[in-house]
Amino acid sequence: MILIVNETTLLLILISVLSLIHPSTSQHKQSCHSPIYCQGDLLHVVQTAKIFNDSKTFVDMAMINPVNETLKKFQTLMAENDDNPSREQIAEYVYQNFKAIGELDEEYPRDFKKEPKIIKEIADPVVRHFAQHIIDIWPTLTRKVSYHVLDHPDTHSLIPVEHPFIIPGGRFKEYYYWDSYWILKGLLLSDMYETSKGLVQNLLSMVERYGFIPNGGRIYYLNRSQPPLISLMVADYVKVTKDFEFIRNNIGTLDKELSFWLDKRLVKIQKDGIDYELAHYDSESDTPRPESYLEDIETCSSKIDEGKYECYTDLKSGAESGWDFTSRWLFDKKGEPTSDLEMISTRRNVPVDLNAFLYKAFKAVYKFHLILQNEEQARFWLGKMDKWKEAIEAIFWHEEDGTWYDYDMKLQKPRRYFWASNLVPLWAGSFDEDKREERGARTAKYLHKIGIDRYRGGIPMSLLPTGQQWDFPNAWSPYQNLIIIGLDKSKDPSAQELGKDLAHKWVNSNIKAFHENKVMFEKYNAESSGHFGGGGEYHIQAGFGWSNGCVLELIHIYFRTKTRKYLNM
């Protein structure tokens, strides 16, 4: 006999099955304390009913009524339907109790300049015209928290902040930690110093409230951070504005943010009888991501017992890295990269780029304490710099291949695959100064050897076509800048020439894509100039905050004058 079922029946079967694997809210570490946006039966029932195509849609909606009333109405819904409401009944409940408006107000930045200094200094008319278009995007991405959130914060997932900020664009309607680093570079190059300061102050306020900076400006992100770049943001802001009092007012907050990483994210690695400390990504929650709830349940569905919760933690840890997702975090049974997201084991991987970011952050805070004549604190951060430089050299540098590699803690060996993140130590300068030119030359040789210079649309994030959005053929703006500027700062002629070539390819690809589509994209395709990227958990997003900031930084370096100038210290 053949059983014929319709779509609604299949959905109800799915909900029933998923309810059997509903994460216990009493035994496991939640995303946050909200019984609406982070944990509990309401979140589970709504997200597994798949009312929206994107799970993020629901957790970004505001409650129409107070929390207790919202929960009471949900309990009534469940009681009246024997704990098994239909998809239509769940949708009706959602639309009667939640709304998707009222969190953010558009804000025209008071310091916006139609023609900042950088525009006047670009000789090439095509590049100058493009740069002007990029700068004109800033007002369209500027937001401030509305009075709805400020008056009733408990009915929103948005974390309120005092100052206006820049959103990335597309589905991302809140501020994000590491996006803000490259957005800030673009704002400073656009002479928007007031907006820049407010953006940094918002992030610093997170440290004061929570002890760290969450992934983004939603309470469901309070289980994870993102790459630690706030110290470098302060360095960029102060270098441009000379607002040294800003350092004095915020040095304690910067110390606190770095202490979070030292207290919560370190692992010990032994090599040649020496113990080294380095950082890895490690979320403090082992339940599905609220903004990707159903997706995470499906990804981890074949796991049993604690393996399921380990899977959820690794998914959140991958999101903490900003690389969500990539073969960097995916291991098959032999420890090789795979395309299967179910095989995620983010915490097993000790990342090169995270530790290079930390080294550079330690250096920035060390310099701040020197400026403030805080000798004891300066010595502390100098000590961290020295230890990290030694560990990066010992664990990540691969002498035979002439590059750096992530480290597999389980197999206790380097992961000898190209990921764009491998080269961040060249940008960070996390090696002895007398090795700078040599490391630049070897990096250029390595990139030529694996054919990175042949791609017309940018530097791919990996050479592994897994379908994950942080793998081949996708090219993401931040790592173009990290690699290109690292090559240039090495002072090796071959590295500088390669950096120049890669910068021109990237800027030209961005210009071509903009002319054809009238928008900036979140990611691009390395195989073809002017084409946007794909893959991952959601469709390509336009806007786009960090793409704008990154391309302005490369224009500032390569198209403005022949003299290399950098924002970062």
Q: Active-site positions?
A: 324, 522
DSSP 515-539: HHHSS-BSEEETTSTT-B---SSS-
Residue type, 144: K
Total Cβ atoms within 10 A of residue 143: 18
Chain centre to alpha carbon of residue 479: 12
C-beta separation of 359 from 430 below 8 A: yes
Question: Residue 258 is encoded by which pair of tokens?
Answer: 């770095």
Spatial CB neighbours of 416, under 8 Å, sequence gap ≥ 6: 398, 401, 405
Q: Which helix (H) or strand (E) element contains residue 391?
A: helix 375-391
**Bridge partners for 277 per DSSP:** 268
Distance separating alpha carbons of residues 341 and 296, to the nearest angstrom: 10
Q: Write the DSSP symbol of residue 231.
A: H
Question: Is 355 strand, coil or helix?
Answer: helix
C-beta separation of 135 from 158 below 8 A: no
Cis omega (within 30 of 0) for bond into 85:
no
Q: HSE (CB half, 13 Å, CA atoms) of 354?
A: 29
Core vs surface per residue 238-275: b (16+ CB within 10 A) or e = bebeeeeebbeebbebbbebbebbeeebeeebeeeeee
C-beta separation of 144 from 193 below 8 A: no
Q: 188: alpha, beta or left, given left = phi > 0 and alpha = psi -120 to 50?
A: alpha
Query: For residue 68, which phi and psi values (nearest 5 degrees)?
Result: -60, -40
Core vs surface per residue 397-425: b (16+ CB within 10 A) or e = beeebbbbbbbbbeeeebbebbbbbbbbb
